[in-house]
Amino acid sequence: MVSKLLALEAYPNLRDLDFRILRGVELNMRRHRWVPLEDIARFARVDVETASFRLGKLDDLSLVRRRSDIGYIGYQLTIHGYDVLAIRALAKKGVVEAISTTQIGVGKDADVYVGITPSGERIAVKFNRIGGRTASRKATYHREVFADKRHTSWLYVSRLIAKKEYEALTLLSPIARVPRPIAWNRHVLVMEFVEGRELAELREGELSREEAAKVLDDVLKEYLKIVEFGIVHSDMSEFNIVLSGDGVLIIDWAQHVTTVSPESYELLKRDITVLLNAFRRRWGVKRDFDKIWKDFEMAWRKSRGDRDGD
């Protein structure tokens, strides 16, 4: 499904004051579920009437939402308002000059767009979208970011997950075929743009059995290096493998765990199972699970410093 990035439509209509007001809502959401109008005006250094007027405009643009049935007038930042603040920050840092108006990739928790740097280089800009109807499922996927955190907003969780993926890619890009990270701000991750197609997008007949076998071997080779390094993807599937002119690329590291994590062993086993099943089902490529698992289990233990079979 292709959709527009609403923040790009709103962005040209915003003034510096609007960004200060949005920033005031964002910061004060740490203390308030609905931020009082007076607090926003104080942060933006304007009177209440001016703040109320500009917030009305921002509400019309779907960047904030307003509530008045709580004993006072309060505001929350929407995901679109969060988008605007992240785009503004990345633009001021010279990371992003422009972003396409339609998305090129859709994941469980994110939308991806093509961006352009000030030097004209294409980049991938990933907006994390945690929350909504599948919030409980997403909380399970990303349970570690909720540890010891009460009353955490979905906007903040999206930020933590973007940071988590950026850190994983920073560690892995020098040693394996994963996207090279460029920057992150709030819930937005900027990466190198790779010309290619997800394995899941390929139609019947586009990949022969022999070609699919080579792809699987390449993926397993890359993933084995990553596990030896100490990281488990934990969401490995045909949707997270990209075929490019340079070979395979393993993407979407937002759910990764380290091999010292108690659940990493079972997550790794699930990754290998899902991967082998997908290639057997779609291309008839058969591999001996026990033989492959032996190599991955050994890599997993080695990364943890295990010296025995316990």
Question: What are the angstrom distances between the C-alpha of 97 and each of 70, 89, 124?
Answer: 41, 11, 12
Burial of residue 134, with CB atoms counted within 10 A of its CB: 0-12 exposed, 13-18 middle, 19 or more buried: middle
What pLDDT does 1 receive? 39
Helix, strand, coil tally for the chain in percent (to 5): 50, 20, 30
| Predicted pLDDT at 131 | 63
Whichever domain contains 76, its CATH number is: 1.10.10.10
Out of 159, 192, 225, pick the residue that ends a domain: 192
Query: End-to-end alpha-carbon separation of the chain, Å?
Result: 46
Helix ranges, the chain (H): 6-10, 16-28, 37-44, 48-60, 79-92, 135-141, 154-172, 209-229, 264-283, 289-304
Write out residues in the chain with pLDDT < 50, as ranges.
1-2, 132-140, 145-151, 309-310
**Rounded-to-integer distance, Cα 85 and Cα 26, Å:** 9
Whether 85 is in a domain gets the answer no
Residues 100 and 185 in one domain: yes
What pLDDT was estimated at residue 300?
98
Which pLDDT score is estimated for 153?
80
CB contact at 8 A, 141 and 130 = no
What is the pLDDT, as a whole number, of residue 154? 87
CA distance 258 to 41: 44
Same domain, residue pair 224 and 294: yes
Which tokens in the block code for residue 231?
């990281």
Dump pLDDT digits (tens) for 84-107.
999 999 999 999 999 998 788 766
Look at residues 192, 217, 242 and tell me which one is the last residue of a structural domain: 192
* pLDDT of amino acid 310: 47
Domain harbouring 162, CATH code: 3.30.200.20
Residue 23 CA, chain-centre distance (Å), reads 22
Most distant CA pair in the chain, distance: 70
Domain residues for the domain of 104 are 93-192
pTM, to two decimals? 0.90
Q: What's the domain count of the chain? A: 3
Residue 30 is predicted with a pLDDT of 92
> What pLDDT was estimated at residue 109?
82
Active site residues: 235
Residues 188 and 201 reside in one and the same domain: no
